[in-house]
Amino acid sequence: NSLSISPTTAIQSPLQIFVRAKKRINDIYGEVEQYVNDSCKFLLVLPNDSDLITKEELLVVNSHVEKVKGIREVLSRDHMKVAFFGRTSNGKSTVINSMLRERILPSGIGHTTNCFIQVEKSENDESYLISEDSAERKNVKSVSQLAHSLCTGSLGDSALVRVYWPTDKCPLLRDDVVLVDSPGIDVSPNLDSWIDRHCLDADVFVLVANSESTLMLTEKNFFFKVSARLSKPNVFVLNNRWDASASEPEYLEEVRRQHLLRTVDFLVDELKVCGTRTEAEQRVFFVSAKEVLQARINEFKGLPMNTGIVTDGFHGRYFEFQDFERKFEECISKSAVRTKFDQHTKRGKAIVGDTRNVMEILLDRASTKRAAKSQSRREVLDHLDFTEKQLQLVTVEMKDKICKMVEEVEHKVSKAL
């Protein structure tokens, strides 16, 4: 029953953890910017000879203005990044297309993807690409046009092409997820440069394995290199092409057990990215990206999910893909909040703390100055008081003297008469 399969556009997507955190930290940094800018403006209009602020203190606040501006820029561009790796033709591009619910990336038999392709949201409604070798925006309307643009480029396999895509069909893009497709790890000698250029800021890695074979050494070695550069990367393993198992139902359970065992060994004992086997089991999925993509394209067109012949176990595989998406979303949003915002939160606190310190020192100095001024004013007033009283005394004394003198003169005059 196709109605029972709800799409992953659930209202409460775990991606909202990141989306909300990003909005909140952006708002807070807006306030921090206002505070630092206001403080700086205030300090700059203080008279030069006021002795209230030193050059060094002014420099501290001034440098924070630039710093906050830079952090705000980084914050507005922050996103959650997931990178897909695996051998050629395991279905990396098809997995990404299924998650995006649309055939965006070229896929096909043989070696298809020949450079890194990063799909991210387009701010306007247009789809276009920008490649590393030019600043030109090339419009792309269809997957064949995109494939053509990628073929004609003379880029190496470590180069990056950014594809900007409208978000109307792709909730992941709307919620700031950026998906990076890669060429097969078995066809390139440049794995170190791949890691330097594309992996260090990834929040989640998805190894797209082929369930028709087994995990290969090339795949394992690549992830050993990744985990040597990043502490405990988040790794999911998709055993893709699991629809093939339907043709051999008698081996299905056994093959699944064997793949699971080996993959869990790899994640826990060899790569050491999961602490326990239970934790690792939550990172391994058996899916068919091709089926999911077709089902979602049908669904979008208003057709039943599975037109034509339904391969046995389709619903189970579809559910498992959705389960992967849910766990992936939880993992990526929590990890991105931690790695991207933790540092900015600490820096924001330090910036506000420094600025407040300078303003408090300034306030202290201003209060001391005012106190000193009012003290000297009080002294002058006291002195005036005293002088006035002295004057009064003197005046009284003089009056007495003059009176006496007048009396004396009067007396003498009366005698003379």
Residues in contact with ligand GTP by the rule CB under 6 A: 86, 88-94, 107-109, 111-113, 183-184, 240-241, 243-244, 288-290
**Dihedral pair phi/psi, residue 120, rounded to 5°:** -140, 170
DSSP structural state of residue 1: -
290 binds, among ligand GTP, Mg ion, none (CB under 5 to 8 A by kind): ligand GTP
What is the smallest separation between the CB atom of 291 and ligand GTP, expressed in angstroms? 6
90 binds, among Mg ion, ligand GTP, none (CB under 5 to 8 A by kind): ligand GTP
Within residues 103-132, the interface with Mg ion by CB under 5 A covers: 112-113
Nearer residue to ligand GTP within complex by CB, 212 or 281: 212
Query: How many CB atoms are located within 10 Å of the residue 188 CB?
Result: 18
What is the smallest separation between the CB atom of 292 and ligand GTP, expressed in angstroms? 8
355 binds Mg ion (CB under 5 A): no
What is the smallest separation between the CB atom of 112 and Mg ion, expressed in angstroms? 5
14 binds, among ligand GTP, Mg ion, none (CB under 5 to 8 A by kind): none
* Cβ neighbourhood burial of 324 (10 Å; 0-12, 13-18, 19+): buried
SS (H, E, C) 129-177: EEECCCCCCEECCCHHHHHHHHHHCCCCCCCEEEEEECCCCCHHHHCCE
Nearer residue to Mg ion within complex by CB, 92 or 296: 92
97 binds Mg ion (CB under 5 A): no
| CA dist., res. 78 & res. 22, Å (int) | 8
289 binds, among ligand GTP, Mg ion, none (CB under 5 to 8 A by kind): ligand GTP
| Residues in a beta bridge with 120 | 164
111 binds, among Mg ion, ligand GTP, none (CB under 5 to 8 A by kind): ligand GTP
313 binds, among Mg ion, ligand GTP, none (CB under 5 to 8 A by kind): none
Distance of alpha carbon 375 from the chain centroid: 54
For the chain, the C-alpha Rg in angstroms (whole number) is 38
93 binds Mg ion (CB under 5 A): yes
Nearer residue to Mg ion within complex by CB, 13 or 89: 89
153 binds, among ligand GTP, Mg ion, none (CB under 5 to 8 A by kind): none
What is the smallest separation between the CB atom of 95 and Mg ion, expressed in angstroms? 9
218 binds, among ligand GTP, Mg ion, none (CB under 5 to 8 A by kind): none
What distance, in Å, lies between the first and last C-alpha atoms of the chain?
147
102 binds, among Mg ion, ligand GTP, none (CB under 5 to 8 A by kind): none
Nearer residue to Mg ion within complex by CB, 184 or 313: 184
What is the smallest separation between the CB atom of 66 and ligand GTP, expressed in angstroms? 43
| CA dist., res. 232 & res. 229, Å (int) | 9
* Cβ neighbourhood burial of 416 (10 Å; 0-12, 13-18, 19+): exposed
3-state SS class at 202? coil
Cα angle, residue 199 at apex, residues 196 and 205 outer, rounded to 5°: 155
Q: Are the C-beta atoms of residues 159 and 133 closer than 8 Å to each other?
A: yes
State the DSSP H helix or E strand holding residue 384, giving kind and residue range, or none if neither. helix 342-416
Nearer residue to ligand GTP within complex by CB, 277 or 290: 290
Q: Are the C-beta atoms of residues 281 and 272 closer than 8 Å to each other?
A: no
Nearer residue to Mg ion within complex by CB, 92 or 101: 92
Q: Where are the alpha helices (DSSP H) in 249-341?
A: 249-265, 277-281, 289-301, 314-336
Nearer residue to ligand GTP within complex by CB, 104 or 331: 104
Nearer residue to ligand GTP within complex by CB, 165 or 318: 318
State the DSSP H helix or E strand holding residue 258, giving kind and residue range, or none if neither. helix 249-265
What is the smallest separation between the CB atom of 92 and Mg ion, expressed in angstroms? 5
Nearer residue to ligand GTP within complex by CB, 109 or 413: 109
What is the smallest separation between the CB atom of 96 and Mg ion, expressed in angstroms? 8
Length, in residues, of the chain: 417
What is the smallest separation between the CB atom of 90 and Mg ion, expressed in angstroms? 9
Which residues of the shown chain bind Mg ion in the complex (CB under 5 A)?
92-93, 112-113
